[in-house]
Structure 1
Amino acid sequence: MELQSCINYLLTTAQHEVFQTFSSGLSQFNITPGQYGVLSCLWKNGSCTPKEIAQILRLENSTISGVLDRMQKRGLINRVVDPEDRRSVQVVPTEEGSALRDDVLRLIERLNVEILSGFSPEQKGILLDGLRKIGNVERADA
């Protein structure tokens, strides 16, 4: 099989291009695509445990721990210990983390449109449905 026909090569190459575009765009807010993922979880849910964030983003707990450390140092999140169960920690956005929401979401929407601009509406639907199927990801509006 030719490399250019291998699904792993194609997905890796496409993911790299998308990641670079998002990294560049999000740099104006001094956040990374991974940090956007964490903030998105918190904006939607209000608070989450580190384990819940890792499950939603499909990352290892150890990976999330480092991301949360950097975000806390940056002032985007706080970790709050549950007074009823000191082993339970909730991650919550700070005022600064919450204040980024509208501007970041507008940027994410614009970047998605930009990245998919070469596709017809039908092609976009097929691509997104195919990626969801490969990744076992449910539609948000389902």
Structure 2
Amino acid sequence: MKSRLKQFDITPVQYGVLQCIWQLNMHNPKEIAQFLDLENSTISGILERMENKDLIIREIDENDRRYIKIDLTEKSKALEAPVNKVVEEVNKDVMSIFSEEEKQTLKKYLRRIITI
């Protein structure tokens, strides 16, 4: 995944952050950190690097200065389709080594892990 995302100058964890915004409409750093199971200090550094790459904009809420909102830039909006295509290809490649029965078993175990 890392090598395939390199062409877009994003890391797998940055992809995770972007997915939270693209697909789940999450705009709060704490919410994203919790979803990705990251420490608040870790997400802060990730967001800073993403902001430096012009992937996101961090804005302080006018009504509550404690709240930071994350928004996409035009650059990251344009990356959604090509990045998701590459990730889909990677997932397809990974799954190709399994039989149909093994795929179903793997998916079953992954669903179980998600519920923990």
Q: Same fold by TM-score, threshold 0.5 exceeded? A: yes
Q: 1:68 matched to which residue of 2? A: 47
- Specify every segment of 5 or more residues in structure 2 that has no aligned partner in the other structure, as ranges: none
TM-score normalized by structure 1?
0.77
- Whichever of the two has the greater Rg, that structure is 1
* Paired-residue identity, %: 47
Cα separation, 2, equivalents of 1:122 and 1:135: 20
Q: 1:14 matched to which residue of 2? A: none
Q: CA deviation at 1:84?
A: 1.1
Kept after mapping to 2: 8 A contact 1:38/1:53: yes
Question: Over residues 61-81 of structure 1, what are the superposed CA-to-partner deviations in whole Å (9 max), with x where a residue is unaligned?
Answer: 111111001000000000111
Q: How many residue pairs were aligned?
A: 116
Q: 2:56 matched to which residue of 1? A: 77
Cα separation, 2, equivalents of 1:50 and 1:127: 31
Q: Secondary structure at the match of 1:85?
A: coil
Moved over 2 A (4+): 134-137
Q: 1:30 matched to which residue of 2? A: 9
Cα separation, 1, equivalents of 2:25 and 2:52: 20
Q: CA deviation at 1:43?
A: 0.5
Tell me whether 1:117 sits opposite 2:82 in the alignment: no
Question: Over residues 35-72 of structure 1, what are the superposed CA-to-partner deviations in whole Å (9 max), with x where a residue is unaligned?
Answer: 00000001024441100000111111111111001000
Tell me whether 1:56 sits opposite 2:35 in the alignment: yes
Could you tell me which amino acid in structure 1 is paired with residue 5 of structure 2? L
**What's the RMSD between the two structures over aligned residues?**
1.4
